[in-house]
Amino acid sequence: MKDETPRKPFPVSWDQFHRDARALAWRLNGVGPFHALVAVTRGGLVPAAIIAREIGMRMIDTVCVASYNHTAQGELQVLKNVSDTVMKLGGGTGKGVLVVDDLVDTGKTARVVRNLLPDAHIAAIYAKPLGKPLVDTFITEVSQDTWIFFPWDTGLSFQPPIRDGAA
Count the residues in the chain. Answer: 167
Which residues, 6+ apart, have CB-to-CB distance to 112 below 8 Å?
A: 65, 76, 78
Q: How far is 41 from 79, CA to CA, in rounded Å?
A: 10
In sequence order, what DSSP letters do the residues of 10-38 get, joined into one string?
EE--HHHHHHHHHHHHHHHHTT---SEEE
Q: Any catalytic annotation for residue 145?
A: no
Q: Any catalytic annotation for residue 84?
A: no
Annotated active-site residue in 20, 61, 84, 101? 101
Annotated active-site residue in 102, 119, 153, 164? 102
Q: Any catalytic annotation for residue 61?
A: no
Annotated active-site residue in 3, 61, 84, 105? 105
Catalytic positions are: 101-102, 105
